[in-house]
A and B are shown apart, each in its own frame.
Chain A
Amino acid sequence: MAIRSLLGALRNRLILASCSRSRSLSTLVLAEHEAGCVKASSLSAVEAAKYLGEDNSVSLLLAGSGPSVQEAANHAASCHPSISRVLLADSDKFTHPLAEAWAKLVHMVQQNGSYSHIISGSGSFGKNILPRAAALLDVSPITDVIEITGSNLFIRPIYAGNALSTVRYTGSYPCMLTIRSTSFPLGQATTQLKPTAASIDMVDVSNFGEGELVIIWYQRDEFLCSNSSQHRILAPVVFSDSTYDNNALGKSKYITQSSQDTERPDLGSARVVVTGGRALKSAENFKMIEKLAEKLGAAVGATRAAVDAGYVPNDLQVGQTGKIVAPELYMAFGVSGAIQHLAGIRDSKVIVAVNKDADAPIFQVADYGLVGDLFEIIPELLQKLPDKK
Chain B
Amino acid sequence: MKILVAIKRVVDYAVKVRVKPDKSGVETTNVKMSMNPFCEIALEEALRIKESGRASEVVAVSVGPAQCADTLRTGLAMGADRAVHVEHAGALHPLSIAKILKALVDVEKPGLLLLGKQAIDDDCNQTGQMVAGLLKWPQGTFASKVALDAESKAATVDREVDGGIETLCLDLPAVITTDLRLNQPRYATLPNIMKAKSKPIKKVSPEDLNVEIRSDLEVVQVAEPPKRKGGVLVSSVDELIDKLKNEARVL
Contact = CB atoms under 8 A, between A and B. Distances in A.
Given A135-B95, A253-B168, A381-B237, A162 B225 contact: yes
Interface string A292-318: 000010000000100110000111000
Contacts of B131: 135
B240 A368 contact: yes
A247 B243 CA distance: 59
B151 interface: no
A9 interface: no
A134 interface: yes
Contacts of B17: 159, 162-163
Contact of B126 (A141, A157, A346): A141
A140 to B, nearest CB: 5
A124 B139 CA distance: 13
Interface in A109-158: 123-125, 127-136, 138-144, 153, 156-158
Given A162-B16, A167-B217, A381 B241 contact: yes
Contact of B123 (A103, A125, A320): A320
A234 interface: no
Given A131-B129, A368-B231, A368-B234, A163 B225 contact: yes
B65 to A, nearest CB: 19
Nearest to B156: A255
Interface string B46-89: 00000000000000000000000000000000000000000000
A99 interface: yes
Given A124-B161, A166-B223, A350 B139 contact: no
B129 A135 contact: yes
A209 B181 CA distance: 34
A21 interface: no
Interface residues of A, number: 93
Nearest to A315: B164
Interface residues of B, number: 81
Contacts of A248: 132-133, 136-138
A124 B162 contact: yes
Nearest to B166: A257
Interface string A251-273: 11111111110000000100010
B141 A127 contact: yes
Interface residues of chain A: helix, strand, loop or mixed (majority): mixed
A258 B165 contact: yes
A118 to B, nearest CB: 14
Contacts of A325: none
B204 interface: no
A252 B134 CA distance: 16
Contacts of A166: 219-223
A158 B250 contact: no
Contacts of A255: 156, 167-169
A370 interface: yes
B136 A321 contact: no
B228 A346 contact: yes
Nearest to B238: A384
B163 A140 contact: no
A206 interface: no
A371 B233 contact: yes
25 contacts: A100-B138, A128-B141, A128-B142, A132-B129, A136-B134, A140-B215, A159-B121, A163-B225, A167-B218, A169-B216, A170-B217, A246-B136, A250-B171, A251-B137, A257-B161, A259-B164, A296-B251, A329-B244, A329-B250, A339-B16, A349-B250, A352-B244, A358-B233, A369-B233, A370-B237
Interface of A: 98-100, 103, 123-125, 127-136, 138-144, 153, 156-172, 246-248, 250-260, 268, 272, 296, 304, 307-308, 313-315, 320-321, 323, 328-329, 339-340, 346, 349-352, 358, 363-371, 377, 380-381, 384-386
Given A99-B129, A100-B138, 16 more contacts: A124-B142, A140-B215, A153-B220, A157-B225, A163-B17, A165-B219, A167-B219, A168-B220, A254-B166, A257-B166, A296-B251, A346-B228, A349-B248, A367-B248, A370-B236, A386-B251
